[in-house]
C-alpha cells in the first residue's frame, strides 16, 4: 500500500467536502483525521516514526497547506485513543477542536469524563477548555470516578466538586456568610455549574418558620435532573457538629412543606472554609454532604 497517497487523498477529499457540503464538515473532519491517524500508525510500523516528518514535508509542499509534524501526530494520537478506548462511533456533538483540547490530557479516564459532560451539556470548545483549566475532573470524589469507570448509576451529589471554586468578581473580603452569599449571587450561574448538572436557583435567605421562630435558608435550589430540592448552608469557618443539626432541620422542613410525593427527598450541602471529616464520618444522614470552598 502507498500510505502517502492514501493520506493525501483523504486530506484532499476532506477539503473538497468542507467546501461543498457545509453540514457535514465536522463528521468529515473526524472521519478523515481518524483514517489518516490509522494510516500513519500502519506506515510507522513499516518505515519507523521518522516517516511522519517526511509525509509532513511532502504534504505541505504538494497541498499548499501546513500539515505540520505536530498536526499529523495529533491525528495519530486521536486514532490511538479511539482504538484503545474501543469507541464504536465518534461523538456527533464534539468537533475536532474539542478533541484537540482533550488530547492534550494524558489520563484516558479524564478524557472520557470530559467527552461525557460535553455531550450532556453541549459545551462549546471555550467552555470545555475552562472546565479542564479548573481541574473539574480532579475535584470529583474517588467514589464518583469509580462509578464512571464501572458505568454505575450516579446521584445528585456525585458531581459536586471539592473544593468548590467561587469566583469573587467584587473583590470583597470574605469575612461572613452574608458576604460569601453576595459573592455567590454575583455569579450564580457559575456557582450552579460548580455543583453539577441540573441545578436551578429558587431563592436566597429563604424564610421558614420552625415553631415560633423564623429561620433563613442561605440558598434554596432545585435539581430538575434528580427531581429534588437542595438546601445550601454557607459557613466561613471549619465545619462544626451543630451545622449538621441545623441543615437537617431545614431539609426536613422542606420535605414536609414543599416536597411533593413524586419528588425525591431534599439533600443538604454545607459549604465551609474547612471540612471536618471526623464529623462527617459520624453523620448518619447520607443526604448531607460537606464541601470546602476556594475563592478564585
State the Cα–Cα distance between residues 5 and 28, nearest whole angstrom.
Answer: 18
Please report the beta strands in the chain, taking only residues with DSSP state E, as ranges in sequence order: 164-166, 199-210, 213-223, 228-234, 267-272, 288-295
pLDDT band at 23 (very low <50, low <70, confident <90, very high): low
With a pLDDT cut of 90, the percent of the chain lying above it is 80
Please, is 76 exposed, middle or buried when counting C-beta atoms within 10 Å of its C-beta (0-12, 13-18, 19+)?
A: buried
**Per-residue confidence (pLDDT) for residue 24, from 0 to 100:** 62
Specify the pLDDT at position 72.
Answer: 96
Could you read off the pLDDT of 29-40 as tens digits, one per residue?
999 999 999 999
- The pLDDT tens digits for 86-105 are 776 677 789 999 999 999 99
Hey, what domains does the chain have and what are their CATH numbers? 3-139 (no CATH), 150-295 (3.40.1350.10)
Average pLDDT of span 280-291 = 92
Sheet holding 228-234, edge to edge: 164-166, 288-295, 267-272, 228-234, 213-223, 199-210
CA dist 111 → 141, 153, 249 (Å) = 16, 19, 40
Lowest mean pLDDT among 22-36, 188-202, 208-222: 22-36
> 3-class DSSP state for residue 164?
strand
More confident residue, 15 or 165: 165
The confidence score (pLDDT) of residue 20 equals: 66
Quote the mean pLDDT of the chain: 92
pLDDT confidence tier of residue 165, bands split at 50, 70 and 90: very high
Q: How far apart are CA 84 and CA 128, in angstroms?
A: 23
Is the pLDDT confidence value at 220 over 80? yes
pLDDT of residue 144: 94
Q: What is the pTM of this model?
A: 0.85
Alpha-carbon distance 52 to 185, whole Å? Answer: 52
- pLDDT more than 70, % of the chain: 97
Residue 92 DSSP label: T
* DSSP structure class, residue 135: T
> 285: which DSSP letter?
-
* pLDDT value of residue 22: 59
Highest mean pLDDT among 8-17, 24-33, 214-223, 274-283: 214-223
Q: Which residues pair with 211 in a beta bridge?
A: none
Annotate 111-136 with b (16+ C-beta within 10 A) or e (fewer): bbbbbebbeeeebebeebeebbebeb
Amino acid at each position: 500500500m502507498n500510505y502517502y497517497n492514501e493520506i493525501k487523498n483523504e486530506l484532499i477529499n476532506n477539503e473538497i467536502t468542507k467546501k461543498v457540503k457545509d453540514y457535514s464538515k465536522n463528521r468529515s473532519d473526524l472521519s478523515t483525521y481518524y483514517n489518516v491517524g490509522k494510516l500513519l500508525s500502519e506506515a510507522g510500523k513499516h518505515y519507523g516514526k521518522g516517516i511522519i516528518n517526511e509525509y509532513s514535508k511532502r504534504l505541505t509542499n504538494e497541498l499548499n497547506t501546513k500539515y505540520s509534524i505536530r498536526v499529523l501526530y495529533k491525528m495519530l494520537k486521536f486514532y490511538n485513543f479511539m482504538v484503545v478506548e474501543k469507541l464504536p462511533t465518534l461523538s456527533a456533538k464534539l468537533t475536532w477542536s474539542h478533541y484537540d483540547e482533550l488530547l492534550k490530557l494524558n489520563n484516558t479516564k479524564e478524557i472520557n469524563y470530559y467527552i461525557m459532560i460535553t455531550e450532556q451539556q453541549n459545551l462549546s470548545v471555550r467552555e470545555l477548555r475552562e472546565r479542564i483549566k479548573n481541574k473539574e475532573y480532579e475535584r470529583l470524589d474517588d467514589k464518583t470516578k469509580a462509578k464512571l469507570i464501572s458505568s454505575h448509576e450516579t446521584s445528585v451529589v456525585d458531581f459536586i466538586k471539592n473544593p468548590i471554586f467561587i469566583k469573587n468578581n467584587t473583590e470583597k473580603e470574605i469575612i461572613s456568610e452574608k458576604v460569601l452569599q453576595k459573592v455567590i449571587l454575583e455569579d450564580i450561574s457559575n456557582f450552579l455549574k460548580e455543583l453539577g448538572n441540573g441545578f436551578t436557583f429558587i431563592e436566597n435567605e429563604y424564610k421558614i418558620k420552625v415553631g415560633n421562630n423564623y429561620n433563613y435558608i442561605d440558598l434554596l435550589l432545585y435539581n430538575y435532573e434528580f427531581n429534588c430540592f437542595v438546601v445550601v448552608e454557607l459557613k466561613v469557618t471549619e465545619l462544626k457538629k451543630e451545622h449538621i443539626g441545623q441543615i437537617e432541620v431545614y431539609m426536613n422542613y422542606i420535605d414536609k412543606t414543599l416536597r411533593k410525593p413524586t419528588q425525591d427527598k431534599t439533600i443538604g450541602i454545607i459549604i465551609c472554609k474547612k471540612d471536618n471529616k471526623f464529623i462527617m464520618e459520624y453523620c448518619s444522614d447520607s443526604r448531607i454532604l460537606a464541601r470546602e470552598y476556594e475563592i478564585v
